[in-house]
Chains A and B, each alone.
Chain A
Amino acid sequence: MQKKRNRAGPPQQEAASDDGEMSDSSDKMEVAQGKGKSAVKRAPDADEVLRPVKLSKSDLYKPPTNDELNRLKETEHLFHTNLLRMQIEELLQEVKLKEKRRKTIDGFLREINTLLGTIPETPQTDLTDQTWLPDSIKVPILQVPYQVKGKFCFLPPSSIKVVGSYLLGTCIKPEINVDLAVTMPQEILQAKDNLNQRYSRKRALYLAHIASHLANNELFSSVKFTYMNSNHLKPVLLLRPYGKDEKLVTVRIHVCPPPGFFKISRLYPNKNNVRTAWYTEQETEGVNEPPTPHYNNTILSDLTLEHHLHHLSNCASDFPGMKDAVALLKVWLHQRQLDKGYGCFNGFLAAMLISYLLSKNKINKVMSGYQVLRNTLQFLATTDLTVNGITMATSTDSSLPSLHDFHEAFQVVFVDPLGVVNLCADMTTNKYHQIQFEARESLKVLDDTSADGFHLLLMVPKPFVRTFDHVFHLTNVSKLQGTCKKMKLLNQLIDQGGDYLATSLPYVLSILSKGLGPRVALLSHTLPHRPEWDIGEEPAKHRDSSLLSVGLLLEAELHTSVLEKGPAADSSQALDFRAFWGEKSELRRFQDGSICEAVVWPGSSLCEKRKVPELIVKYLLELHADIPESCISYTGNVLDCVLTRGKEAGTEEEKMVGIIQSYDDLSRKLWNLTDLPLTVTSVQGTHPCLRYSDVFPPLPVKPDWSSYQLLREKKCLVPNPEKPCPAYVAPVKVICHMEGSGKWPQDKDAIKRVKAAFQIRLAELLRAQHQLLCNPSATHTDVYKDGYVFRVQVAYHREPQYMKEIVTPEGMLKYQDTEESLQLELETLHLPSLTSTLHGLHQQHPAFGGTSRMAKRWIHSQLLGDSFSEECVDLLVAHLFLHPAPYSPPSSPQVGFLRFLHLLATFDWKNSPLIVNLNGELKGPDYTEIQNDFISARAQLPVMFIATPKDKKDSLWTKTQPTAQILQRLIVLCLESLRALEQQLMDPSGSQDYKMTFRPPLDLYDILIRLNPKQIPRHREAVDQPAKSFFRGLLKEGAQVKDLMFPVVGYDPVQCYLQELREAYGEFALFFHDKHGGDVIGVLWKPSGFEPQPFKTTNMTGRVMDGKSAKPLLVPNVEAIVEDFEILGEGLVASVEARTERWSI
């Protein structure tokens, strides 16, 4: 029998093979790429591993050269460390435009320049008469209302200039934009063009005519329109070169008025330039015309394009650090998704800010890019431009608008050097606060010497959905029209030219901020973004803007509070409070006797409490903004559904509290036991539910005798093979340390016996003194208490010591780790301390438990749960909370889970240890020590290396598992799940089946063993609610029981079966199963097991002599093995599906 393997088969199959080294994984990854399933980074080759550096003595001690000293000194002054300097240099090299490319672009620009000069003139027509435009071109502006006075004719531009980042040399790859400012000749414009969008219309027509002449030119691969920064009054023309440089550059053509054409004082923020009568197309007599600051600002920014360029190039001259800093800031902003869309903080703004800091002497021209970046962040972090705006104006002209005028008109104020344009006109308060928040967080990271600041600041993307704890979307943006009406925002709407999204956004956000109050640390939104469109299409409408998402960064403690306490009933604020909360507001009497207005939200369980922010958002938006609930897609808690068991609602956090109370009571009883020969020194639980991270915590059980066999003399129940398997009762393990004493024997076997005697004694005493049902055995005592079963295990702290003893031939007593002693230490020493530490972590970060449970649930659901220890996952999750940078610690399990996937998938397991600084015990030198130890011993260490303060060298929890192949497989799954999940969470119009990522692909397994649900005790825990349920021998909670019998503990036939399979056939196959209610076992053949082998007595396990080949070789007896699967699992196995197309016998 020969087994043929399909080499090009799916990568997962390969990934599970047990032999081979880590380097194998790279080929496998490539296969995955070939399939095009996910954009996986190419795994590094085998030789790309960090090795300890060895320098020869002569190299180390040779006299230093001047250059070397200079560089070392410079580094010390200008950068944090050498490494940071080199990293920044590398990054800049990567993003900056190469000189060669620059030449290509220059050539392209010259050609455009000549083309623009040859565009023919058109005769003068009314603005509204657009018949002269060819049908294939649509005017790139929304002409609402259509009627407008004025004449238009096309004349060749009076000047064409390159402006912006390309000239300054601050543009960065991959999106190189070159801005071309085309000045309209004066003759086109008329005296009152600043009024009623006339200028904007002319600008658009001018652009349309240019577009119509460039449209069919073969120089361009595409000619498109878009709005500059998504501001619908400012269309620009996008030109991309034809051929191989298509992706290289986008030329943006801006049209601007001749300098000095408009009287600037008419465009001050308190002036009106759009008449209400014109906009509403109704006669409105005697209305006070409202100021139109945003409209004015768009015209002004066109007027000042050139001036700003001069200003910036003055600053940038002999200031190399500025170019670097702008490039770095752009990267920083881009990673945080702050640099695109309406009201963004773009590169231009960054450059302006740096020039401001330069003018204020906060930075100087000798600073390095890194220092400038740092200072800029420092400035952003500490200055609130929404309250204290800044201006660069130097003139003392008193006629210029004051900062106060700007604050009246705009939310964020940053005035340009002329003193008239607000550069942050479109930015919302919330966005600016987000920028401030990011800057603050980034500075913290930079100050933390143990973190890799460069990586976290500049290399890690922070997508919206992973940054905020809760995210919700407005699925129907056009509903905001109603909001404008409801909030009476007509004046603002006129100012924004009808852009209801931009108009209502600040108001909606302020209502939410007020309503959520201290529950949120930060409330922000995605920037409205309008796509590009073809020149033949109608311009993008307001409703076309990408959907608006709002993100909430929650306060861990406060966001679940169910009570909103208002002012006292008789105070003057009470009315406001009632108006704000509407009918939800009610009078309540509080414990201190006061009677206050209050709003109470439902919150009987933690799962419900997590929904409070959602309720508030939905309620307030409906009440104040007329946005119905159906238009809000709140995705903050959608993954909670994977933590519910069966039909029960809720995520069972309360159940764990119940167990912990019962456990506390038990430990008190153990402490106070009288008549024990030695006293109890400590009682420590080790079960995951005692650190809130058990996926499905044990439930209190009351067995129904009729479903069991009775063992009267031992007062125990035994499962009945005829009946459905009884519900799984997980023993909650508790380690009980006994006092050290001379009475303990000094021999490991004797200690075991004494411990057994203690177990018996414990059982007797608990029974006698506390009437608890106990069941002692040699290694532990099971205690049935409050419906839970605790497994108390007696421990003696010196026992591992005795296990390690070895006497050398010289008669010296030596201690050497043995497997037995390590195991015992793990159970009685490390696990209890980890459990209590993580318990503490959960108290600090209430989302820890939920995140960990979700992560475990996911790993199990992918059938890989048996390859990762519970503690390993817990530590990974703890890392998210203890080292959250560049994020803040998650406050909702869902976002924690997303970050978990991201961490697992992107961490460089090969070259770095994952350091989890529990309790903050590790200090600076410890980090380097761990790093160095890791690098020098890499080959001997486990593939996943997790270091904690108590475990710097061994990575206890990943020592044996996972293997490189399993880890590789999990990483592939992580990337795919993360991608799918984030897409789902950000796109409410798509599939709403969030459990999708929790269903494993089964097509890669060679054999599927289907199990009979009747014998799966945890079937209810399955991801998808099973159709059929069985009576599992449990009584309802309140039922009366006449006599207590010990329930069946820790009996799971599926686990027994898996163990037998792995013991017998581990050499040939890997077995995958989801212990939480999975009804299938996936079997994957190992290629190594199928290789024919010569005869040896030791490998004669399940093999058969291959008589056909010339040499007598052994091959696995596959048919018999497959049938054995059925035999061993009699009663449990429903069917064994061999997928013969995948392997042949």
Chain B
Amino acid sequence: MYKMAPARQCSTLAAPAGYTAVPVKFSEERRTHHYLYVKEHKVREELDQTRPQNRTLFVLNVPPYCTKESLFQIFTSCSPVELVELQDKPGPSEPQSNTVSQHFGRRQLKGFKVAYVVFKHPSGVQAFKSLKVKKPIVLSEVSHSIKTGINKWVDDYRASLTGTAELQAEVDEFMKGYDERVAEEEEKANEEEGVPDEEGWVKVTRKGRRPGLARTEAVNIRVTEREKRKRAQKELLNFYAWQHRESKREHLAELRKKFEEDKQKIALMRAQRKFRPF
């Protein structure tokens, strides 16, 4: 299709099949631009309730400095936008923000991103399709400028200073939940103690009067080691004549092996001209 278009336009707006290229640039005075590649969001099974297929756009190649807000602005110009989600890779949306805590395991998005834009109405998708982009869209406008460089890093620094009270509150809440969970599990374990399941198996736990061996790798290794040692103690060494013979043979074999290794080393060194002293 793009082959038939005039050469100039084809080089600027070429896009993979099914995608539309949208040139964006950081600010008015910038000379170059990146392209957002946009297509309708389509997946075989709709798992995600927040991204209805008929009113969601999938956006590739979102530049590093581009924020949710600026995308919001861009697409609002077509039709009201309900939600913009940014991700590192295409895929199902990440867990909701209320379970991801403010202070623990928060991940910053890095580099180029992908975005899912959900319009309020299905008509948004159509509106976007009919949109003809003539000149690059400016991301950082005066009204809602994007902070980069020094300003951004100062903001980041400010954000990294945590409030003690919030942190404490979050920890307390989590621990409360955790304690409840642990208590529940313990209670459940207590209930099941010594009670056979439907096939008649009784679960042996670490608790109780006669705890079984813990099922960990370390314990397994320890047990086998002990067995081996016991066996080795019973064995007699250099007792029979054949054992003597054997150990001599082993010694010679060892020497030979060493000799072979040394020969290999020498050959290598010779190849590297390691014997030229000066």
Interface residues of A (CB under 8 A from B): 41, 44, 48-51, 53, 55, 59-61, 64, 72, 81-83, 86-87, 90-91, 93-95, 174, 331, 334-335, 458-459, 461, 709, 711, 714, 716, 718-721, 725, 745, 747, 749-750, 752-754, 756-757, 760, 763, 775-778, 811-815, 908, 911, 1015, 1048, 1051, 1053, 1056-1057, 1060, 1063-1066, 1095, 1097-1098, 1100-1108, 1112, 1117, 1119-1120, 1122-1124, 1127-1133
For A754, give its contact among B175, B182, B220 (CB under 8 Å): B175
Instruction: Closest A residue to B264 by CB, please name it.
Output: A53
Report the Cα distance A908→B263, complex, angstroms.
18
Report the Cα distance A811→B167, complex, angstroms.
36
| Contact status A1108-B11, CB under 8 Å | yes
B8 to chain A, nearest CB (A): 10
Interface residues of B (CB under 8 A from A): 2, 7, 10-17, 21, 26, 30-35, 37, 60-61, 63-65, 89-90, 103-104, 110-112, 114, 148-151, 153-154, 156-158, 160-164, 167-168, 170-171, 174-175, 178, 182, 214-218, 220, 249, 252-253, 255-266, 268-278
| Contact status A718-B149, CB under 8 Å | no
Given A72-B255, A331-B277, A777-B167: A1130 in contact with B149 (beta carbons within 8 A)? yes
Given A48-B271, A763-B164: A813 in contact with B34 (beta carbons within 8 A)? no
In the complex, chain A residues whose CB is within 8 Å of the CB of B10? 1107
For A1128, give its contact among B89, B148, B161, B163 (CB under 8 Å): B148
Given A334-B278, A335-B277: A776 in contact with B162 (beta carbons within 8 A)? yes
Given A90-B275, A756-B171: A53 in contact with B260 (beta carbons within 8 A)? yes
In the complex, chain B residues whose CB is within 8 Å of the CB of A461? 278
For B35, give its contact among A72, A331, A756, A1117 (CB under 8 Å): A1117
Given A72-B255, A86-B262, A718-B157: A48 in contact with B112 (beta carbons within 8 A)? no
Given A86-B262, A776-B164, A1064-B112: A813 in contact with B273 (beta carbons within 8 A)? no
| Contact status B217-A1128, CB under 8 Å | no
Instruction: Closest A residue to B157 by CB, please name it.
Output: A1051
For A721, give its contact among B26, B31, B154, B265 (CB under 8 Å): B154
A289 to chain B, nearest CB (A): 46
In the complex, chain A residues whose CB is within 8 Å of the CB of B260? 53, 55
Instruction: Closest B residue to A908 by CB, please name it.
Output: B272
Instruction: Closest A residue to B113 by CB, please name it.
Output: A1101
Report the Cα distance A1129→B167, complex, angstroms.
32
Given A83-B266, A815-B217: A1105 in contact with B149 (beta carbons within 8 A)? no
Q: List 19 A-B contacts (CB under 8 A).
A: A48-B271, A50-B265, A83-B266, A86-B262, A94-B275, A718-B154, A750-B174, A753-B171, A756-B104, A757-B171, A777-B162, A814-B216, A1015-B150, A1053-B153, A1056-B156, A1100-B112, A1101-B112, A1107-B13, A1108-B11
Given A714-B163, A756-B167, A760-B164: A1119 in contact with B278 (beta carbons within 8 A)? no
Report the Cα distance A1048→B214, complex, angstroms.
50
Given A1053-B149, A1097-B60, A1120-B33, 4 other A-B contacts at CB below 8 A?
A459-B275, A757-B175, A1097-B90, A1129-B149
For B269, give its contact among A72, A90, A720, A778 (CB under 8 Å): A90
| Contact status A82-B60, CB under 8 Å | no
For B149, give its contact among A756, A1048, A1128 (CB under 8 Å): A1128
| Contact status A1123-B265, CB under 8 Å | no
| Contact status B262-A1100, CB under 8 Å | no
In the complex, chain A residues whose CB is within 8 Å of the CB of B256? 55, 59-60
Given A1095-B16, A1120-B32: A711 in contact with B89 (beta carbons within 8 A)? no
Report the Cα distance A1105→B270, complex, angstroms.
52
In the complex, chain B residues whose CB is within 8 Å of the CB of A1105? 14-16, 21, 35
In the complex, chain B residues whose CB is within 8 Å of the CB of A778? 103-104, 162, 167
| Contact status B217-A747, CB under 8 Å | no
Report the Cα distance A72→B255, complex, angstroms.
8
In the complex, chain B residues whose CB is within 8 Å of the CB of A745? 175, 178, 182
Given A55-B256, A90-B270, A815-B218: A1102 in contact with B149 (beta carbons within 8 A)? no
In the complex, chain B residues whose CB is within 8 Å of the CB of A763? 164
In the complex, chain B residues whose CB is within 8 Å of the CB of A1130? 148-151
For B63, give its contact among A752, A760, A811, A1124 (CB under 8 Å): A1124
Instruction: Closest B residue to A1128 by CB, please name it.
Output: B148
Given A53-B261, A1048-B157, A1098-B89: A753 in contact with B104 (beta carbons within 8 A)? yes
| Contact status A60-B257, CB under 8 Å | yes
For A1056, give its contact among B30, B153, B162, B268 (CB under 8 Å): B153
In the complex, chain A residues whose CB is within 8 Å of the CB of B14? 1105-1107, 1112
Instruction: Closest B residue to A815 by CB, please name it.
Output: B217
| Contact status B26-A1127, CB under 8 Å | yes
| Contact status B220-A812, CB under 8 Å | yes
Report the Cα distance A711→B155, complex, angstroms.
12
In the complex, chain A residues whose CB is within 8 Å of the CB of B148? 1127-1130
| Contact status B217-A812, CB under 8 Å | yes
| Contact status A775-B161, CB under 8 Å | yes
| Contact status A86-B263, CB under 8 Å | yes
In the complex, chain A residues whose CB is within 8 Å of the CB of B21? 1105
Report the Cα distance A50→B259, complex, angstroms.
14
B260 to chain A, nearest CB (A): 5
In the complex, chain A residues whose CB is within 8 Å of the CB of B276? 94
B242 to chain A, nearest CB (A): 14
In the complex, chain B residues whose CB is within 8 Å of the CB of A1108? 7, 11
| Contact status B35-A48, CB under 8 Å | no
| Contact status B161-A711, CB under 8 Å | yes
In the complex, chain A residues whose CB is within 8 Å of the CB of B220? 812
Report the Cα distance A1088→B195, complex, angstroms.
63
In the complex, chain A residues whose CB is within 8 Å of the CB of B89? 1098
Report the Cα distance A11→B168, complex, angstroms.
55
Given A55-B260, A812-B220: A1063 in contact with B111 (beta carbons within 8 A)? yes
Report the Cα distance A90→B270, complex, angstroms.
8
| Contact status A41-B162, CB under 8 Å | no
| Contact status B149-A1123, CB under 8 Å | no
Report the Cα distance A461→B277, complex, angstroms.
8
| Contact status A1102-B34, CB under 8 Å | yes
Report the Cα distance A36→B127, complex, angstroms.
64
In the complex, chain B residues whose CB is within 8 Å of the CB of A813? 214-217
Residue among B150, B157, B160, B215 with the most chain A CB within 10 A? Answer: B150
Instruction: Closest B residue to A89 by CB, please name it.
Output: B266
In the complex, chain B residues whose CB is within 8 Å of the CB of A1124? 26, 34, 63-65
In the complex, chain A residues whose CB is within 8 Å of the CB of B104? 749, 752-753, 756, 778
Report the Cα distance A573→B111, complex, angstroms.
77
Report the Cα distance A82→B218, complex, angstroms.
42
| Contact status B157-A1103, CB under 8 Å | no
| Contact status B275-A82, CB under 8 Å | no
Report the Cα distance A174→B277, complex, angstroms.
10
In the complex, chain B residues whose CB is within 8 Å of the CB of A1120? 32-34
| Contact status B252-A64, CB under 8 Å | yes
Report the Cα distance A444→B116, complex, angstroms.
70
A1018 to chain B, nearest CB (A): 15
In the complex, chain A residues whose CB is within 8 Å of the CB of B30? 1123, 1127
Report the Cα distance A1091→B178, complex, angstroms.
51
Report the Cα distance A736→B30, complex, angstroms.
50
Given A718-B154, A757-B171: A1127 in contact with B65 (beta carbons within 8 A)? yes
| Contact status A61-B249, CB under 8 Å | yes
Report the Cα distance A1065→B63, complex, angstroms.
11
Report the Cα distance A1108→B35, complex, angstroms.
16
In the complex, chain A residues whose CB is within 8 Å of the CB of B218? 815
| Contact status A1100-B175, CB under 8 Å | no
B78 to chain A, nearest CB (A): 22
Instruction: Closest A residue to B266 by CB, please name it.
Output: A86
For B31, give its contact among A48, A750, A1106, A1123 (CB under 8 Å): A1123
In the complex, chain B residues whose CB is within 8 Å of the CB of A1106? 14
Report the Cα distance A753→B174, complex, angstroms.
8
